[in-house]
Structure 1
Amino acid sequence: MTDELLEFVNWLKEKGVTHVAMESTSVYWKPLYNLLELEQIETLVVNARHIKAVPGRKTDMKDAEWIANLLRHGLLKGSYIPDRAQRELRELVRYRRSLIEEERVGN
């Protein structure tokens, strides 16, 4: 984990933040999600297309402010995120597959 992410999560805790919403962008959301989960901060990971589809979006409003406003009003639907054990198992399976593929290509 990067120091910046840890600092950010600590800042959120200091500010009394209890809920966070963020766009699912590639795999970049995962480390932050994992830290927020450890700190028991309720976190919604939302598909960016769903956020932009909500009517009333102002083009000059920053995305973070827009997402916070939608979260505040209960207008976001989070993506399904498996629990930590399931996510870790999936990572192990992916790693195993990569080792098998590496071995296959090497022979």
Structure 2
Amino acid sequence: MVATVRRPGPGGVRRSETRTFATVTGRLEEMSDWLTTEQVTLVGMESTGVYWKPVYYVLEDHFPVWVINAEHLRNVPGRKTDVADSMWIAQLLE
């Protein structure tokens, strides 16, 4: 599971941080804690098969979560990795 947080940095430049988490409940809760610490106010995530559901269930009580259809992401050129997808989704939510 790859997550990216984007926020304002010095001089008005956007700063990004990307982290990878295992998909077991304890690690997903660590991700939720990190997002809370970073003062995230909206989460966007790709829906892939049934794999998105545990992530959603951990986050839904803490954040508004937008679930994005994976088919829509696959049709965007240049998005070939989980990291690239995560960074792009973070940009879309700004």
Interval of TM-score (by shorter of Structure 1 and Structure 2): 0.5 to 0.7
Where does residue 33 of structure 1 map in the other structure? 56
Q: Distance in 1 between matches of 2:59 and 2:92?
A: 19
Q: Is the 1:24–1:48 Cα contact (8 Å) retained in structure 2?
A: yes
Matched, 1:43 2:65: yes
What is aligned with 2:31?
Answer: 8
Q: Which runs of 5 or more structure 1 residues have no equivalent in the other structure? A: 73-107
Of Structure 1 and Structure 2, which has the larger fraction of its residues in strand? 2
Cα distance in structure 1, aligned partners of 2:75 and 2:51: 22
Compared CA separation, residues 34 and 59, structure 1 to 2 (3 A): closer
Alignment CA distance shift 1:8-1:66 (3 Å): same
Equivalent residue, structure 2, for 1:71: 93
Partners of 2:27 and 2:85 in 1: CA distance: 21
Counterpart contact for 1:51–1:67, Cα < 8 Å? no
Gaps of 5+ in 2: 1-23
Aligned pairs, number: 69
Which amino acid counterpart does residue 22 of structure 1 have in structure 2?
M
In structure 2, what is the Cα distance between the partners aligned to 1:52 and 1:25? Answer: 11
Cα distance in structure 1, aligned partners of 2:79 and 2:59: 29
Are 1:19 and 2:42 matched, yes or no? yes
1: distance between equivalents of 2:90 and 2:66? 11
Superposition RMSD in Å: 2.1
Q: Which structure carries more relative contact order (alpha carbon 8 Å, separation 6+)?
A: 2
The CA deviation string for residues 22-48 of structure 1, in whole angstroms up to 9 with x for no partner, is 110111111111121112x01011112
Higher fraction of helix: 1
Please report the TM-score for the alignment, with normalisation by the length of structure 2.
Answer: 0.62
Q: Percent identity?
A: 45
Greater Rg, structure 1 or structure 2?
Answer: 1
Structure 1 residue 52: Cα displacement: 4.1
